[in-house]
Amino acid sequence: MTIMKHELRQGRTSFLVWTAAIGILMAVCICLFPEMKGQMEGISKLFASMGAFTAAFGMDRLNFGSLPGYYAIECGNVLGLGGAFYAALCAVDILSKEERGRTAEFLLTHPVSRAKILAGKLAAVLLQITVLNVIIYIVSVMSVMIIGEAVPWRELNLLHLGYFLMQLEIACICFGISAFMRKGSMGTGLGLVAILYFMNLIANISKSVRFLNYLTPFGYCTGADIVSAGKLNLGMVAVGIVISAVGIIAAFVKYMHKDIQA
Amino acid sequence: MEAIQTKDLTKMYGKARGIIELNLAVEEGELFGFIGPNGAGKSTTIRTLLGLISPTSGSASVLGKDITLNREEILAQTGYLPSEALFYSGMRVRDILKLSADLRKKDCRQEAEKLCDRLQLDPSRKVDELSFGNRKKVAIVCALQARPRLLILDEPTGGLDPLMQRAFFDIIQERNREGVTVFLSSHVLSEIQRNCSRAAVIRDGRIIACGSVEELAKTSARRVSVHGRVNLEKLDGIKDLHYTEDSVSFLYGGDMNLLLGRLSEGDVSDLSVSEPDLEEIFLHYYQEGGGTQ
């Protein structure tokens, strides 16, 4: 509990900045919908004829004139990318920062097992991501209500659940990476998100590499798939859960016996 | 009971040497010195004892407990002062002290206040604003506030002014009188000579001498200062040779008869022969020679 509270205190500023940034952008995107709605029908037809580019973002399968379609693309990109970057930054540095900042010596010479330190830090990461998502969810629902639209509960819940699971998976992978890193972990985390994001875009363009969607957590939170299917792809989610577990186990296996450098 | 005991303790960093077959025994209640040049393996020894790094082979116990199996129990009774004290950015001194106490599940407020008073440390300051010496004070309070049975101090006085060094050693001596074992690693040999009853010398990862500080300081080598003219060429056993205008000073560990012969052949107006202090012995014999002569 002490470790978790300490981590929450350490990550407070970053949490507030990212929550505010994503929340404000989401609210702005939603508030722009009434103005955009009238222009969207033409734009939807235009996008539908743009081939691979629109396929990459799933825009060929969505109606921009409807709130679920607009939300899946515009808000999805804000929460999808913003949330993924936050999850990566939050988790990839959580263990390595102790060695980089040379505070590991302070922490690990107190009578706390490494397993408890790992558990406390992981709990702090997951809690911050959860609270961020709850706040963003509330902001989004309230914004939809403010603009006078009916809340598309099913689509909205599924989209937010998908993004939440994706952020958790990225956090778990980055947590595993953090146990192996000593320096420069931030770049690795951001780079990983970029790679996973582009894997999803490529998989959406070409059928021959569609399997990549099973490897990237962006695969099961493609807005177009969720809105059109009305459900999450549970096969992809299951693979994501396994990858997340591998990330956490790797962190424990490595960090329990890691030599801490001076 | 031994507070610290190592048996052929070895740590290799890949192919690089850390410590090799280290055998050390520190009795409970001792104030034990650990001397060695940079890179000799002092910090590696300490980091292995504290479980920060795993030994490659051999074994060690601290307060009767195996370092690989009972890490938490050992750390619960051990206060550690690192050579370089670094803390979490943005925190105040009192937050660091509280975090340290919370990690030990102890209420150390009273003891922390006393120590802060004695070391003139302001607990409301932010750690980022502190000088190296003041950060060291924070680390000292962290190590001492829980009143541990064993204190492991790595270069403890670096950055402290002479008055603070004195205040620090007063506290350490008090704790030692109360029965606390102190393992003091230091480059400052006068510190070891003043405060420790026994000491070990480590060089190239191996213990090359261990015993009472008096024994370690005993050597047949002498500091010789000669005023006048004397030919010292090709005379074995001379170290730390200094010439001035009309005098010469050196450490001599060779055959005294040969030296007397050279002196009688020269033109000597004054001569002094004295025992070298531990600092000189360490610098000129333990660092290079392979043991005292």
pLDDT surpasses 90 at A64? no
Q: Which of B38, B48, B88, B141 to mutate to test the interface with A (most CBs of A within 10 A)?
A: B88
- Residue A218's pLDDT is what? 92
Q: B86 and A260: CB-CB below 8 Å?
A: no
pLDDT surpasses 70 at A198? yes
Given A6, A110, A262, which is nearest B43 (Cβ)?
A262
- Residue B284's pLDDT is what? 66
Given B43, B52, B54, which is nearest A108 (Cβ)?
B52
Give a yes or no: residue A142 inside a domain. Answer: yes
C-alpha span between A175 and A126 (Å, rounded): 10
Between CA B51 and CA B61, with CA B56 as vertex, the angle to 5 degrees is 45
- Residue A222's pLDDT is what? 85
Question: For B81-132, how does the pLDDT look when each residue is reduced to its tens digit (9 = 90+)?
Answer: 998 889 999 999 999 999 999 999 999 999 999 999 999 999 999 999 999 9
- Residue B51's pLDDT is what? 94
How many structural domains comprise chain A? Answer: 1
> What's the length of chain A?
262
Mean of the per-residue pLDDT values for chain B? 89
- Residue A44's pLDDT is what? 64
The 3-state DSSP class for residue B82 equals coil
Question: For B165-215, how does the pLDDT look when each residue is reduced to its tens digit (9 = 90+)?
Answer: 999 999 999 999 999 999 999 877 778 888 999 999 888 899 988 888 887
* All CATH 3.40.50.300 domain ranges in chain B, comma separated: 2-216
Question: For the residues B131-156, what does the mean pLDDT come to?
Answer: 94
Given B43, B75, B89, which is nearest A110 (Cβ)?
B75
* Residue A58 host element (H or E): none
Q: A106 and B71: CB-CB below 8 Å?
A: no
pLDDT surpasses 50 at B291? no
- Residue A23's pLDDT is what? 95
Which span out of A3-7, A229-233, B263-267 was modeled with the highest average pLDDT?
A: A3-7
Question: For the residues A113-137, what does the mean pLDDT come to?
Answer: 96
Confidence of residue B40 (pLDDT cuts 50, 70, 90): confident
Return the number of other C-beta atoms located less than 10 Å from residue B257's C-beta.
8
pLDDT surpasses 50 at B292? no
DSSP state of A220: G
A2 touches chain B (CB under 8 A): yes
Contacts of B53 (CB under 8 A, 6+ apart): A259, A260, B11, B18, B44, B47
Q: B87 and A106: CB-CB below 8 Å?
A: yes
Who wins on pLDDT, B293 or B214? B214
- Residue B85's pLDDT is what? 87
Give a yes or no: residue A31 inside a domain. Answer: yes
Rg, Å, chain B Cα set: 22
- Residue B293's pLDDT is what? 40
CB A44 within 8 A of CB A211: no
- Residue B39's pLDDT is what? 83
C-alpha span between A61 and A69 (Å, rounded): 9
- Residue B290's pLDDT is what? 46
What CATH topology corresponds to B2-216?
Rossmann fold (3.40.50)
pLDDT surpasses 60 at B289? no
Q: Which domain holds residue A159?
A: 2-256
Mean of the per-residue pLDDT values for chain A? 89
% of residues, chain A, pLDDT over 70? 90
Give a yes or no: residue A250 inside a domain. Answer: yes
C-alpha span between B56 and B86 (Å, rounded): 27
% of residues, chain B, pLDDT over 90? 62
% of residues, chain B, pLDDT over 70? 94
pLDDT surpasses 80 at B21? yes
C-alpha span between A73 and A66 (Å, rounded): 11
Question: For the residues A32-53, what does the mean pLDDT come to?
Answer: 70
Strand partners, B25: B5
Confidence of residue A59 (pLDDT cuts 50, 70, 90): low
Which span out of A179-183, B26-30, B200-204 was modeled with the highest average pLDDT?
A: B26-30
pLDDT surpasses 90 at B246? no
Who wins on pLDDT, A39 or B41? B41
Question: For the residues A161-183, what does the mean pLDDT come to?
Answer: 94
Residues of B with CB under 8 A from a CB of A: 43, 47, 50-54, 71-73, 75-76, 78, 80, 82, 84-90, 99-100, 102-104, 139, 142
Give a yes or no: residue A261 inside a domain. Answer: no
Question: For A79-98, how does the pLDDT look when each residue is reduced to its tens digit (9 = 90+)?
Answer: 999 999 999 999 999 999 99
Q: Which of A99, A107, A110 to mutate to test the interface with B (most CBs of B within 10 A)?
A: A110
Lowest-confidence pick of A34-48, A145-159, B106-120: A34-48
- Residue B288's pLDDT is what? 56
Give a yes or no: residue A262 inside a domain. Answer: no
C-alpha span between B11 and B1 (Å, rounded): 25
Question: For B262-273, how does the pLDDT look when each residue is reduced to its tens digit (9 = 90+)?
Answer: 999 989 999 998
- Residue B176's pLDDT is what? 95
